[in-house]
Structure 1
Amino acid sequence: MNLLLVEDDELYAASLAEELRQIGHAVTIAPTGPDALIAVERDAFDAIVLDCMLPHLGGSGVALRLRERGKRMPILMLSALERSAEKIAGLTAGADDYVVKPTPAAEIDARLKALIRARGWSEPGADTLRAGDIVVNPAHVRAWRGERSLDLARLEFRLLVELVRHKGSVLTRAMLIENVWGYEFEPGGNIVDAQVRMLRRKLTAAGEGDPIVTRRGVGYMLLDD
């Protein structure tokens, strides 16, 4: 899943985000309520893990504003204290569940999946493909490198999906032409090379290193590390 973690404790946020990534999620961290509201407008998140006590705008206020804006993704609230008043405020504002910190990442993962099942949605993670720090969701037409969402054109996205599906294997230009463009022959103009160059620029801008390896005279391979 593509998760938004709203937490002002920098060390705790970094630790929890890393554990969630190891499970297979893409995680964006927002340290304040206003930052969270901005992030939700910029990206499409499958669920939000939201701390109750935040600077500038508390967790209940964030949940309320999200629901007022028509955002329907599950919201799981975190709190350092088990107070009934906080639980009631958060759930009344629009949160779906509530846990006390520190909660293991595996439990947070299980709770979020249960919330999604309860709504009758399919789990986004079920259709997620991964290669190294690159994550793609073909069903939702979304892609990330690390924490950064990738803004890809249609053919760039289809090319990335094909490379991720066959990570660690060399795909010839003919294979890419057939699977991405749908041609049974290779048109002129080196369209594969041009599309790979554009995709490569966006991937390197979003993370460290170039994950696409060129096999001269043969094709391309996406690294899986």
Structure 2
Amino acid sequence: MRILVIEDDARAASYLVRGLNESGHVADTVDDGRSGLDMALEGIYDALIVDRKLPGMDGLALVQALRRQGLRTPVLMLSALDSTAQRVEGLRAGCDDYLAKPYAFVEVLARLEALQRGRDPVAGLSRTLRVGSLQLDCASRTATREGQVIVLQQRESLILEKLMRHCDEVVTRGMLLESAWDYDFDPIDNVIDKHIYRLRRKLDAGFSHSLIQTVPGVGYRLVRDDEDRLDP
């Protein structure tokens, strides 16, 4: 998942971002409500973690603004305010879940995974994707093709996840960048092409055809391995 952390406490934000990155996700962070609203409205995030008390625009107002704009991205709100009335207020503002501070990171992660399951039930409890004979366990970053185990690096796994979720569709290089790199990343020339090259070598080793097709000038498309073949 790509997750935006909107938190003005630098220590708390760093703790969350580090934990999310180590768990195989891509995390961006911003420390004020108005900037957080602008970034969230870009529509590139799978989930938002929002502190309730933020400078510029508080968390409740931010979530209400998102919902008025029609953005349905799941929101986990974090707050030291934990009375029943305050939790209800957060949920009614449009939050999908509400977690009191102090919290353990493992609970933040579990709640994010639950929100994602609710949004994408096909992924299931194990967050496993399947396209033809290709299977990807998003948690362990391990793929299999016709039973052959393929160990992936973090960014390779995130790129493959994006391609599998959009199987048979053209996925642009920009979409792949958004799925696997954080907001501040300054892309170098051909960074996506280089990762696709390495991913193909792993996926296609021992097979006569490639699962990832190049769409010249646009991006890439992952096809099922029972379809008519095209040169990559």
Hey, what does 2:224 align to over in structure 1? none
What residue number does 1:142 align with? Answer: 176
Distance between the aligned counterparts of 2:185 and 2:69, measured in 1?
22
Indicate if the aligned counterparts of 2:77 and 2:97 stay in contact, CA closer than 8 A.
yes
Q: Which amino acid aligns with 1:145?
A: W
Q: Identify the residue that residue 203 of structure 1 maps to in structure 2.
A: none
Residue of structure 1 equivalent to 2:82: 82
* Aligned-pair Cα RMSD in Å: 3.8
Give the structure 2 partner of residue 98 of structure 1: 98
Q: Which runs of 5+ in 1 are unaligned?
A: 183-190, 196-225
Structure 1 residue 131 corresponds to structure 2 residue 153 = yes
* Contact 1:32/1:55 (<8 A) preserved: yes
Question: When the two structures are superposed, what TM-score results if normalisation uses the length of structure 1?
Answer: 0.64
TM-score by length of 2: 0.62
| Pair member with larger Rg | 1
In 1, distance between residues paired with 2:185 and 2:40? 12
Q: Which residue of 2 aligns with 1:223?
A: none
Aligned counterparts, 1:129-208, within 5 A: 131=153, 135-136=158-159, 137-138=162-163, 139=165, 141-143=175-177, 144-148=180-184, 157=192, 160-164=195-199, 166=201, 180-181=213-214
Asked whether the 8 Å contact 1:34–1:57 carries over to 2, the reply is: yes
Contact between 1:49 and 1:78, CA under 8 Å: does it hold in 2? yes
1:216 corresponds in structure 2 to none
What is the letter of the counterpart of residue 110 of structure 1? Answer: A
SS in 1 for 2:73: coil
Aligned residues: 178
Residues in 2 aligned to 1:97 and 1:146: alpha-carbon distance in whole angstroms: 24
Unaligned ranges ≥5, structure 2: 129-135, 142-151, 167-174, 218-232
Counterpart of 1:6, as a letter, is I
Q: 1:181, CA displacement in angstroms?
A: 3.8
The amino acid of 2:181's aligned partner reads R
1:52-107 deviation digits (Å, cap 9, x = unpaired): 11111111111101111111111110012323333122111100111112322221
